[in-house]
Amino acid sequence: MTTVTETTTLTLDRADVWRRATEEPQWVRRLLIGTTLVFLALFLILPLIVVLYGAFEQGLKVWYAAITEPDAAASIRLTLLVVAIVVPINIVFGVAVAWAIAKFEFRGKTILISLIDMPFAISPVVVGLIFVILFGSQGWLGDWLNAHDLRIIYAVPGIVIVIAFGTLPFIARELIPLMQQQGKQEEEASLTLGASGWKTFWYVTLPNIKWGLLYGVILCNARAMGEFGAVAVVSGRIRGETNTMPLHIEVLYNEYMFTAAFAVSSLLTGLALVTIAIKSFIEWHEKRA
Amino acid sequence: MSIRVENISKRFGNFVALDNISLDLPEGQLTALLGPSGSGKTTLLRIIAGLEAPDSGKIEFYGKDQTHQHVSERGVGFVFQHYALFKHMTVFENVAYGLTVKPRNERPSKAEIHKRVMSLLELVQLDWTAHRYPNQLSGGQRQRIALARALAVEPKVLLLDEPFGALDAKVRAELRRWLRKLHDEIHVTSVFVTHDQEEALEVSDRIVVMNHGSVEQEGTPDEVYEHPATPFVYGFLGSVNLFHGRFEQQQIVVGGDAIPHQDELLNHGSDVYAFARPNELTIVTDPTASHGIAAKVTQVLAYGLNPRVELESIADGSSVQHFQVSLPAHDIKALALETGQQVRLVPSRLKVFERTEASATGDEAK
């Protein structure tokens, strides 16, 4: 019995002296966690509280009045319209590009992959300017557009184009590694079993990528709603007509209508929170699967 | 002939995967495409299936040209090395897939699909897994499901790409026997790709031995094993002992030793490869003997499933040659060999090939 007790004490002693190789001393851990929390509080939580406080400071009625005010309502409608056009475009583009890259071998594949990232690399203002130069009344295609009575810049089509451009990588980026990792064996199996290309896509490819696709759609959606710089350049900021939500918020803020600005901001913030919630759900679901 | 391959060639960049291959595969038989990796066997199988397009040549099934037929219209059953089961579908849905994707007017009724799937699952002895997902099954079970799925569409030909390659040795042996039995029951014309000569010899009715994109030999397992057409085939179909020598006056001269050998077809004075299987050599321990080839014992393994003696040539400046002699364990013990002991090897049977540029590749096979 004595020996047993002795051994126990010994192991305990050792446990005290020997830490696992990757474990840091307690004070280092506390310092790291503490820094993280302070940063989170200052730069994430605090602004969130400020927005919500600002929006609801004068009560629900004022908040409701602010977001149903005609110009605000128009900006919300416009934003939703743009998202409803941009997200489907990017779904088609993202799936097509990811499919091409993951399932086929062709020249210039690496160049294509880097090209997809370009919208992330270019400043949004520059993106806006590119399209003004292309489609503006003084631009390359300006005369032709005028002759056919088409308006792109300072109108909804221009907004759709720059937002589609800016959010183009999200879905493709999400799907490429996923589809590369899955390879093409299941598709080949489906084809040998007599399924057409379309049925193979519908019954085999899509179910395999649906969570990744949804994830990409959510990121794309959030970014499309929040896009500011490029839209500011091409929209002409016509109140009630070409102002999206972020632009409208800026207008309100510049006119010292802080409560209204915060009210519209709270909608975008709400969207962000919902996005994070769905994103976490998808990640949880993928881990479980 | 149910599958006819005519002058098929395929290149990947500068690599010649298939070099003008022609084959006739008889109906109802199980044919093995056997060869080392890079020999083009998988490429050939994928071209037969329509998963890969040949650069030139023609594929026919039962006299009908299939070369430009899309894979989904060829009516092949394909089994992949890594199963390729649909992860998000149950076993039942996997097997039913080929039937459910048929156009509405050809599709069997739900009840009929159910009946057909269940009878296939019984055939592969996995009817109890119908409602499970592929990731809940073992590798061997998955491959059986993949086979049932391929058979569900009643394929004209069944193609299997290294079907047991991803399984461990024990399951592989079991599935081999099982596939042979299954084929005897259903008799669908089948082709399977393998790099394992034992698997090919054990399972197939016919063997096509491939190397460097060409067919080296084609025949029954017995023909291919007993009468290999080239040094490569001899070397690929099992362990071999190789003697480099010269054919002179009805004997093969190897270094300072000679083995008597009768062969009308060999040219006098030509360089030859002489092959003997490990069980075709005997060990003579008598130090005064002068026939056979001198060798030195390096290891005695008088136990296990494959008792044998490892030896090497007595170095005469050139590279050291390894030999292997298989004998029953008690015979090895009776010889009372010691490591380093000098003995003589006497072949009971020799296969001799004239050494040409073309046959030089056989040198590298084991």
Q: Identify residue B67 by its one-letter amino acid code.
A: T
Show pLDDT as tens, one digit a residue, over chain B (366 residues).
Answer: 689 999 999 999 899 999 999 999 989 999 999 999 989 999 999 999 999 999 999 999 999 999 999 999 999 999 999 999 999 999 999 999 999 999 999 999 999 999 999 999 998 889 999 999 999 999 999 999 999 999 999 998 999 999 988 888 888 888 888 889 889 888 899 999 999 998 999 899 999 999 999 999 999 999 999 899 999 999 898 888 888 888 887 888 887 788 888 777 777 888 888 888 998 888 888 877 778 888 889 998 888 888 899 998 886 656 778 899 998 888 888 888 888 888 988 888 888 888 875 554 444 433
Helix (H) or strand (E) holding A134: helix A124-135
- Most A CBs within 10 A among B61, B81, B83, B87, hence the mutation to make, goes to B87
Dihedral (CA of B204, B209, B210, B211) sign: positive
> Are B261 and B272 contacting, i.e. CB atoms less than 8 angstroms apart?
no
- Taking an 8 Å cut-off on Cβ atoms, the answer to whether A185 and B51 are in contact is no
Task: Give, in degrees to the nearest 5, the angle at Cα A276 between A206 and A40.
Answer: 145
Q: Identify residue B336 by its one-letter amino acid code.
A: A
Show pLDDT as tens, one digit a residue, over chain A (289 residues).
Answer: 444 444 445 555 555 556 677 777 888 989 999 999 999 999 989 999 998 898 988 888 989 998 899 999 999 999 999 999 999 999 999 999 999 998 888 888 889 988 998 998 999 999 999 999 998 888 888 888 888 888 888 889 999 999 999 999 999 999 999 999 888 899 999 999 999 989 999 999 999 998 889 989 988 998 999 999 999 999 888 888 889 999 999 999 999 988 889 999 999 898 888 888 988 888 888 777 6
Pairing mode of beta strands B76-79, B30-34: unpaired
Per DSSP, what are the bridge partners of residue B345? B283, B293
- Most B CBs within 10 A among A186, A187, A193, A199, hence the mutation to make, goes to A193
Residue A124 DSSP SS3: helix
Minimal Cα distance from B100: which residue of A?
Answer: A195
- Give pLDDT, residue B365: 38
Distance of CA B254 to the CA centre of its chain: 31
Tell the residue number behind the tokens 């003004």, with chain if given: A132
> Are B48 and B191 contacting, i.e. CB atoms less than 8 angstroms apart?
yes
ipTM of the complex: 0.82
Q: Which two tokens stand for residue B304?
A: 């296990």
Distance in Å from the first CA to the final CA of chain A:
50
- Taking an 8 Å cut-off on Cβ atoms, the answer to whether A204 and B86 are in contact is yes
What is the dihedral angle through the alpha carbons of B282, B287, B291, B292, rounded to the nearest 10 degrees?
Answer: 40
All structural domains of chain A: 1-56 (no CATH), 59-288 (1.10.3720.10)
- Taking an 8 Å cut-off on Cβ atoms, the answer to whether B97 and A193 are in contact is yes
Interface contacts A/B by beta carbons within 8 Å: 67
- Taking an 8 Å cut-off on Cβ atoms, the answer to whether A189 and B71 are in contact is no
